[in-house]
Chains A and B, each alone.
Chain A
Amino acid sequence: MQEITYLAPTSLGDVYEALADGKKSVLLAGGTDIIIQLREGRSDAEQVIDLKHIPELTQFAFNSAGDLEIGAAVPFAEIYENAEVIERFPALIDCATLVGGVQIQSRAGFGGNLCNASPAADTSPALIALSAILRIGSANTVRELAVEEFFLSPGQNALEKGEVLLQVVIPNAGTNSGAYFHRFIPRNEMDIAVANVGVSLSLNNAGDLIEDARVAIGAVAPTPLLVSAAAEALIGKEPNAETFSAAGDAAAAAAKPITDMRGSAAQRVHLSRVLTVRALERALERSKGN
């Protein structure tokens, strides 16, 4: 690894100052991507700024509106051990328990996973389906951004120079709603997704009409995609196999995958459909429990 300096600031102000000091810096949360990138020469950063000593970034809580606010440096393990999160946002648990194995999950978290901006990230489709909002801070301001707008291209996120992802906010889900995330991998754990899908459904009280829906697909395009055509195929329809199949077709049509060592383009298009249909079925079950 090249020589680096390491800073462990205890306030956000110190972070912004460090980001402005002229050195090529990276922000360190869990480190499970950054440290490997530094070691393997895929990052030429000279300074590492550790975010884990900043209280706002290492805490998570439900606010008074019932939204879940997760600091950018909170590890997955803390999320999936929390009984309230398990109950209210099981789709977050779906993805938090899948990223890389328990050793990774002890350190890695939503913030870093999003900022890494891999097209195959396991957090993105779930967060998109849940309509997550990102709070992004800089020395002068805090702005909000819908999570689906955070990804510009593979490895490229929407943070400007001097900005820090502060929190991921998941808005309170309504009643009769359910969300689900899953992915396809060749083994049973430890793989990067060949394709992944996050969906959310909101139904009427009778449970026979979809009032709102979001379908997000990942690993099948340069960025994770919110597939509005899939939502259109769902909203106002009965939650049945035919409806879900149409949504699956829309997801497959939106996919623009490549062929690489993890899968072929044709396989990924096919999986977009299969995973979307299966995810919708699970989300439906969850909405009934709600």
Chain B
Amino acid sequence: MAGRRTQVQTKLNGEETDFLCEPRQSLLEVLRDELGLTGTKEGCNNGNCGACSVLVNGRVANACCVLGVEAEGADITTIEGIADGDKLHPLQQAFLEEAALQCGICTPGFIVSSKALLDSEPEPDEERVRFWLAGNLCRCTGYDKIVRAVLKVSNTSDNG
């Protein structure tokens, strides 16, 4: 039986919303299992792979390390909130053009994390991009094309 659930009010992908959850449910569980937002992925559930990266109050965090109840009053952005309707964010477009994904499971986390980087530092160099993205594991690409995609966006003025 589910335990007693708390009502949480939060801003999610730009919209005021609320949900019910047990305190023991992580934000990751809430997004995926309660809100149907399955774009944020579980890779390890203990903060070591970044597949569950979301923005919390503008900062990139692992949703598996945040309780759903901590979303109260916070501003959360997930991969589903990165594009503007059907207009892709430049990072999403760059990932497609540079073939920066193979299986795609890590891609939402990388895009959210890269967005956080470019929002705070519009023109990072390769070393900085790699340092920032060290918290996002990819097993398919060897990172080369991911880094190129992020640098491609960072070298233009259109960081959306």
Chain A positions near chain B (C-beta within 8 angstroms): 1-6, 8, 28, 30-32, 35-36, 38-40, 48, 50, 52, 75, 77, 81, 100-104, 106-107, 188-190
Contact = CB atoms under 8 A, between A and B. Distances in A.
Contact of A101 (B24, B46, B59, B134): B134
A104 B67 contact: no
24 contacts: A6-B6, A8-B69, A31-B70, A32-B62, A32-B65, A35-B64, A35-B67, A48-B23, A48-B67, A52-B70, A77-B59, A101-B50, A101-B134, A101-B136, A103-B47, A103-B50, A103-B61, A103-B65, A103-B135, A104-B65, A106-B59, A106-B60, A107-B61, A189-B135
B116 A6 contact: no
Contacts of A50: 70
B53 A35 contact: no
A104 B45 contact: no
Nearest to B109: A103
Given A1-B24, A39-B45, A40-B46, A103 B67 contact: no
Nearest to A35: B65
B107 interface: no
Given A3-B23, A102-B135, 15 more contacts: A5-B23, A8-B69, A28-B67, A32-B47, A52-B70, A101-B50, A102-B132, A103-B113, A103-B135, A104-B135, A106-B61, A107-B61, A189-B131, A189-B135, A190-B134
Contacts of B65: 30-32, 35-36, 103-104, 107
Contacts of B75: none
Please tell me the size bucket of the interface on B.
Answer: 20 to 34
B48 interface: yes
A39 B29 CA distance: 12
Interface string B116-154: 110010000000000110111000000000000000000
Interface in B81-132: 113, 116-117, 120, 131-132
A124 B113 CA distance: 28
A52 B61 CA distance: 16
Contacts of B56: 106-107
Name which of A35, A39, A40 has the most chain B CB atoms within 10 A of its CB: A35
